[in-house]
Amino acid sequence: MGKKQPGTSIKKQKNAPRSRIRKIAFKGPQSKVLSTIRIDELIERFLAFIRHERGLAENTQSAYRRDLQSFGAWLSGRSPLTTTIQDLGEYLGTLSDEKQSRATISRKAATLRCFYSFLQLEGIMTDNPAEQLVLARPDD
């Protein structure tokens, strides 16, 4: 039993600084500093989170990166922090107009939901516009 406690306390010590650093980096409500963060910076923070905290496969991480870069290009310089559910609906409608498959659109919508959940979890955004997205069933 004595051997397990030191191992447990070491594990807690390893995790504690990372959590504390993350809270400091994203501390407080949206400030001028947060509102000027570019989408590529947010994407990198999100990818670091899913890599370290969720341990997602490389292919999944690459798909998230491509999906979010596509969304960032569609934003055309607008901040992702001011995005509304209407903006997200317009983006997904654009994908449909481009004849992307329902499966692709559904995956990109799921990526946006995960990304905006991360921003909310980290305190970067107070509201999550993507939580209202209804994911279409992919074509059979």
Please state the domain extents for the chain.
Answer: 34-132
Write the pLDDT tens digit of every residue in 29-88. 443 445 556 888 999 999 999 988 888 889 999 999 999 999 999 998 888 999 999 999
pLDDT at 110: 93
Instruction: Report if pTM > 0.85.
Output: no
Calculate Rg over the CA atoms of the chain. Answer: 18
pLDDT at 133: 83
- H helices present in the chain, as ranges: 4-25, 32-35, 39-49, 58-75, 85-97, 102-121
Cα 132 to Cα 36, 57, 65, 84, 87, distances in angstroms: 25, 26, 22, 10, 12
pLDDT at 121: 92
Residues 6+ apart with CB under 8 A from 115: 42, 43, 46, 64, 68, 130
- For domain 34-132, the question of CATH label 1.10.3720.10 is answered with no
